[in-house]
Amino acid sequence: MKSFDFIAFLIFLIEYSGYQFLYFYLSHGHKHITRESKIQKYRETWLQLVIKERQSILAVQTLRNLTMTVTFLISLTLILVGGIISVFSANLNWLHALDTGNYISFFTEHHAALKLLIACIILLIATFNFIFSLRILNNLNFTIVAAIEQADDISFQLTQLKRQSRYFITGVRAITYFLAPMIWIIDPLAMLIFSTAATLLFFRFDFLSKKDM
């Protein structure tokens, strides 16, 4: 791998993982710095309302809409992963090289294959996060309705909604950053520009301005 390729990838990795950790660290602080930390208060209010007014249908319909969105995104990421795998399977030279079992040598010699592998890993991160999100939504369909009927404490339900939101946001962000290694195949500078621009746009959207705090 060329030195600039490596530097571009390292910067991309710092931007992707660093922003991820920074965002969720600040989202769970006491101050409403991010939109997510502020939206959590609205989730709590929504839960209180549906339980107080016994709005089981509203709760289930909201969760169903979320479930449809998550299942669509799972399908999308799996299709994209399948597309990357098909590229590997269509290249006979790559298949023969992989058959030797020397994977480290293969990926160091075939830079395009390494970039596709990184893109596939990011897509799998998105897929697993969406699956975890779907699992929580499936459980919430039962627990929220039971909590409404029994006028139960909302703390457990609120924790579940926070976890679902965390997995969902992580998955959506991974899909966006997945484009970076795909652009990296064409040009490392373009990948670096894209990942930096995406990080700045996420920062602009995710963090509240002073007037919104």
Break the chain down into helix, strand, coil percent, rounded to 5: 90, 0, 10
Supply the pLDDT for residue 199.
Answer: 92
Supply the pLDDT for residue 72.
Answer: 96
Other CB atoms closer than 10 Å to residue 135's CB: what's the count?
14
Supply the pLDDT for residue 167.
Answer: 93
Distance, in Å, from the CA atom of 16 to the CA atom of 18, rounded to the nearest integer, reads 6
pLDDT tens per residue across span 32-76: 677 887 888 888 888 888 887 777 788 888 889 999 999 999 999
Supply the pLDDT for residue 122.
Answer: 94
Q: For residue 141, give both structure tokens.
A: 């369909």
pLDDT tens per residue across span 18-38: 988 888 877 765 566 778 878
Answer yes or no: is pLDDT of 154 > 80: no
Alpha-carbon torsion, ordered 181, 128, 96, 1, to 10 deg: 30
Distance, in Å, from the CA atom of 140 to the CA atom of 125, rounded to the nearest integer, reads 23
Answer whether 78's CB lies under 8 Å from 127's CB: yes
